[in-house]
A = this chain, B = another copy of it.
Amino acid sequence: MEISPDHPRYRSLVIRERMSDLVKEGVVAPTGLIAHGRGEAFDYLLGERTTDNALLAERTAAAYLLEARHPVITVNGNAAGLCAEGLLSLARAVPAKVEVNLFHRSPERVERVVSYLERVGGQEVLGRVQSSRLEGIASDRAMCCTEGIYEADVVLIPLEDGDRAGALVRAGKKVLAIDLNPLSRTSLESHVAVVDELTRAVPNIERAVKELRDDVPERRRLIAEFDNVLNLRLSRKHMCQLLEGEMR
């Protein structure tokens, strides 16, 4: 479909078409499009910008990644479709391992997402072989790589579902989520919930990784002082301000 650049939702429309094309390629699951739409609505309520408190969460996530012994970034179809290069670049900057982990899991889709990441420069992408299990998840979504998520002490989970976020927390890992819904179980259960759109959040985290690399006191201060409950409340407040403030 032709989209006029004059359309008030031009950027969203272009991303929509791309995500929709990636369904045809098998990278994004059809219901992944629905999840993308949910994110769009919440981003709309943020005014499609990074709030101050989201930036603080991003800096704190960077601090956790740098302090980690074994950091892992998980990637699902939507995360790959929206921000593959950004996530790989962040993984190199930390450095962190990258593991493909899908909600709608099948060997074919895992292969497609891993290959997609490899095609845009990913090296040693984990996920083809997942022989360990996370406790407390009934389905095969419990599967993970021994040398990836299973052994990780810090896990960055962009666009993850609540079951797995909870299971990761109960497994004793520090969980950093990127999730536009400040009321989701993922946001509430993680140690740091970044309520920001993925393609804004990931470069911000990478920038903070570079800034904090040699500043151990600052990153420990960020970790010690971060209050996820308060931070989520601020995101919700921003959304309310947009809902109540504007009469467009």
* Interfacial residues, chain A to chain B (CB-CB below 8 A): 1-2, 4, 8, 16-17, 19-20, 23-24, 29-31, 33-42, 44, 104, 138-139, 162, 181-183, 185, 188, 229, 233, 236-237, 239-240, 242-244, 246-248
| Contact partners of A24 in chain B: CB under 8 A | 30
**Contact call B183/A44, Cβ cutoff below 8 A:** yes
Instruction: Decide if A16 touches B34 in the complex (CB within 8 Å).
Output: yes
Taking a contact as CB atoms under 8 Å apart, the answer to whether B104 and A1 are in contact is yes
Minimum distance in angstroms from A166 CB to a CB of chain B: 11
Partner of A31, one of B16, B39, B139: B16
Residues on B with C-beta less than 8 A from A20 are 29-31, 34
Which residues does chain B contribute within 8 Å of A242, judged by CB atoms? 183
Q: Which residues of B contact A182 (CB under 8 A)?
A: 243
* 24 CB < 8 A contacts A-B: A1-B104, A2-B139, A8-B162, A8-B185, A16-B31, A17-B31, A19-B34, A24-B30, A33-B34, A33-B37, A34-B34, A37-B39, A38-B40, A38-B44, A41-B42, A44-B181, A44-B183, A183-B243, A183-B246, A188-B248, A229-B247, A236-B243, A236-B244, A240-B240
Copies of this chain in the oligomer: 2
- The residue in A4, A138, A244, A246 that gathers the most chain B C-beta atoms within 10 A of its C-beta is A244
Q: How far is the CA of A139 from the CA of B34 in the complex (A)?
A: 26
Question: What's the Cα separation between A89 and B181 when bound, in Å?
Answer: 35
- The answer to whether A37 and B41 have CB atoms under 8 Å apart is yes
* Shortest distance from the beta carbon of A225 to any chain B beta carbon, whole Å: 20
In the A-B complex, the 5 residue pairs with the closest CB atoms? A37-B37, A41-B41, A33-B33, A20-B30, A34-B37
Instruction: Given the known inter-chain contacts A31-B16, A40-B34, please indicate yes or no for A240 contacting B244, CB distance below 8 A.
Output: yes
Given A8-B185, A34-B36, A38-B37 in contact, is the A239-B243 Cβ separation under 8 Å? yes
